[in-house]
Amino acid sequence: MPIESFRPQSWNGIDDIVIVGGGLAGLFCALKLAPRPVTILAAAPIGQGASSAWAQGGIAAAMSPGDTFDKHVADTLEAGAGIVDEKMARFMVSEGPARIHDLLEYGVPFDRDLEGKLLLSREAAHSERRIVRVKGDMAGKAIMEALIAAVRNTPSIRVLEGYVVEELVREGRFISGVVARPDAGQSKRRVHFPARAVVLCSGGVGHLFAVTTNPWEACGQGVGMAARAGAIIADPEFVQFHPTAINIGRDPAPLATEALRGDGAHLVNSAGHRFMLDIHEDGELAPRDIVSRGVFAEVQAGRGAFLDCTSAVGAHFPDMFPTVYASCIAAGVDPVTRPIPVVPAVHYHMGGVLTDAEGRTSIDGLWAAGEVTSTGVHGANRLASNSLLEAVVFAARIAENIKGMLPEPKLNDWGENAGESDDLVTIEDSAALKRLRRLMSDHVGVIRSREGLMTTIREIATLERENTRMRFHNIVTTAKLIAAGAYLREESRGGHFRSDFPEQKASWKHRTFLTLAEADRVVAELSETKAA
């Protein structure tokens, strides 16, 4: 298929910097790079299709009296189950307050107390109140709205919406651009964007699984693209399930924010029993992987799981948590008077493209930020509200690194930003994708086993042979990396639980680094075993 070169008016033939993705990391990086020329390629209109906009809890930052960077780092290390990169975590935590002030300058209306100070909340596994929120559960939406307005008003940032990036262009050691498909990925033509630097901010992997809280666009294409270009992928087996997705049959599943449990809501089964107290001393505020397995066990046993907010929040629910309240009411559940049915759902991927402290990947010319990456700050299990913090901290570090490495170009005047698109990207709702999502949920979900992982890896190999579309290959490549990583790690740790290896092993107290070639070797070995 022919690939066109993009030639807008007043364009000199090569983009200085191309950012793939219009979520928090991508927009923040673009703003930090200003006034350098930047092109943002977004599959959907910016603000739509990004998990950032759906984040309810907020951003964690050690800013309250009595809190310290050391305490925040300690909580992050504890949640990460022994494999957090402490140096990277300390970078993230120590730069958090400065990034919060950046967001305030961009117009984010964080909640304040009567004295005008930032109002800080507590979430699971945090030892202090350090979550900066907006109207209880609207942080992601408010942050994105403020950044979108700032981006639209920055003349050095060109936004091209409806461009689905399908391929990273590699020339020798360098990534030299990207290839994208316009018209929300439905066009028959593909367009080549040469670039001096590519920043991958394409989001997570939730829609590789049948039950997820993530938008459709979070289907792992960025990890797959990077792996196919030769990038090292780190910790792919660690997938975090949010324990309290609202169980009303919607895809994606709406979220009952962690902040509800932080404010005292209880998890009960159909008999009204608080089952988490039988599992962990912290009850509902135990680390997410433990709560997820507890909820999963109740659902699997037929007792169901419910989040009872009637006493802790009660009549204040509509004002304190309007997003959750609206989702419940739409499903016929009044959370003021009735417990909310919940189920674990894929929420966040701790694994992804390996980056260093400056956001550089293992391939020259390619940087990455946000959920597509594995910086090491989350270890085996992300601490609540550290994800938005990670996105802004490392997006800013990337901007500084690029400014220091690349010569300053002549600023092109592109005039107005590219017009908004009414098209929403639609991932093909094919039988192959449905089959993949069900496989991943059944065998690479909350609880995993050797047999289930072997079955999944062999099925993935079949799906690869039967489907040739590049977008599907990016998606299935990420699934293969996650399944292979889970198969190789013969222990349980954080977001990775093996029923056949239920305990942690000291020999596995380290991060995983995997290339596509290594994952393919696992596939080949299992295929040979089956044939024999």
Would you please indicate which residues are annotated as catalytic (active-site) residues?
288
What lies within 8 Å, CB to CB, of 208 at 6+ separation is 219, 220, 346, 436, 437, 440, 475, 478, 479, 482
Determine the Cα–Cα distance for residues 119 and 122; give it in Å rounded to an integer: 10
The sign of the CA dihedral 500, 303, 253, 79 is negative
Q: How many helices (H) and strands (E) does the chain have?
A: 14, 19
The token duo for 43 is: 């599959």
Q: At what angle do helices 386-405 and 86-105 cross, to 10 degrees?
A: 90
Determine the Cα–Cα distance for residues 115 and 142; give it in Å rounded to an integer: 22
Q: Which of 209, 188, 193 is nearest to 292 (CA)?
A: 209
Q: Which of 460, 463, 465 is nearest to 484 (CA)?
A: 460
The token duo for 250 is: 């919607």
The token duo for 476 is: 């299935």
What lies within 8 Å, CB to CB, of 356 at 6+ separation is none
Q: Which of 463, 461, 482, 484 is nearest to 472 (CA)?
A: 463
The token duo for 410 is: 């002549």
Contact 463, 469 (CB under 8 A): no
